[in-house]
Amino acid sequence: MKFSAKQIAGILEGTIEGDSSIEVEALAKIEEGFSGALSFLGNPKYEEFIYSTKSSVCIVNNTFKASKELPSSLTIIRVEDAYACFAKLLELYDSMTKEEPRIEEPSFIHESSKVGTDLFMGAYAYIGKDTVIGNSVAIYPNVNIGNNVSIGDNTVIFPGATIYRDCIIGANCIIHAGAVIGADGFGFSPNEKGEFQKIPQIGNVVLEDNVDIGANSTIDRATMGSTIIRNGAKIDNLVQIGHNVEVGRNSAMAAQVGIAGSCKVGDNVLIGGQVGLAGHLKIGNRVMIAAQSGVPGDVKDDKKVMGSPSFDIEDYKKSYIGFRRLPRILSRLDELELKIKELTKDK
């Protein structure tokens, strides 16, 4: 679908410099632009590309001042915040790619389940008994939804995802391909013979509204009660969240994070990739944990930690400088030992 610069400026409440009738039909990075593409310049670091881009239209901040001549084929649209406006256009573009409501065959919906209006359900998808699906939900092919599940309005579940029995999924959630919500928590107890005995996991998983779950991530059901992912949390691909964990509002974690059972993660927490949290910890609000950190103990509000075992990030940086100098320090110690031996060998 094509849009003119005039139409785009109208959507973004921006002002046009150049040909208002020029049309675009694709989105592209400014450095990878081509004729018919729309780009944006939000970070001054990429300014050099605007003087050579082949994009037809570029969104810039009102404060942008060209230091060189812009391409004659380029129309610019000035807005208050170029990045936010481009994100708005991405949302618009994404909404236009959504599947039309329909139920493909073969698929299965148990007779006791209820589905809302405007459902898209792809082929080979399965909905178990006593499940409630909201309005405008998209369930892609090969999704398996168990018994007694609740899914809120406008949620999207991509191919191959599995939602086990009794789980509750809020509105406007996105669950990406291969994710597993509600598998058993890792609960085993050794008996007198040293053999592991399985502890039944009878709880569930609750995703509140506006939660994103990345591809192939797993969230375990609680032993009792609920594993809870609070409103607005964002979980990247390949993340493992153990049983009875609680992740706070608007917290985010990158790929390959592992959170052991019964951890409580606060609100607005940022966790880098490959971080590991030990079980039963309390992570405060607005905490930042650097990538590849191993966290063995509680972390208080507003702290930034790094390392394995993790500690205050500024102390870590100072310690790391010392660690990098360690080979030279050891070499100097060896030299000093030799000198001391030479000075003392005749005494």
Q: Which helix (H) or strand (E) holds 180?
A: strand 180-183
Distance from C-alpha of 313 to C-alpha of 316, rounded to nearest angstrom:
5
Query: Angle of helix 5-12 relative to helix 82-96, nearest 10 degrees?
Result: 110
Residue 53, exposed/middle/buried by CB under 10 A (0-12, 13-18, 19+)? buried
Q: What count of other Cβ atoms lies within 10 Å of the Cβ of residue 10? A: 12
Distance from C-alpha of 121 to C-alpha of 99, rounded to nearest angstrom:
9
Distance from C-alpha of 280 to C-alpha of 264, rounded to nearest angstrom:
7
Distance from C-alpha of 30 to C-alpha of 38, rounded to nearest angstrom:
8
Give me Rg for the CA atoms of the chain. 27
Residue 95, SS3? helix
Query: In sequence order, what are the residues at sequence separation of 6 or more whose Cβ sits closer than 8 angstroms to the Cβ of residue 73?
Result: 35, 54, 56
Nearest one of 94, 19, 49, 4 to 40, comparing CA atoms: 49
Backbone angles phi, psi at 227, to 5 degrees: -85, 130
Instruction: With beta carbons less than 8 A apart as the criterion, state whether 30 and 46 touch.
Output: yes
Catalytic residues: 243
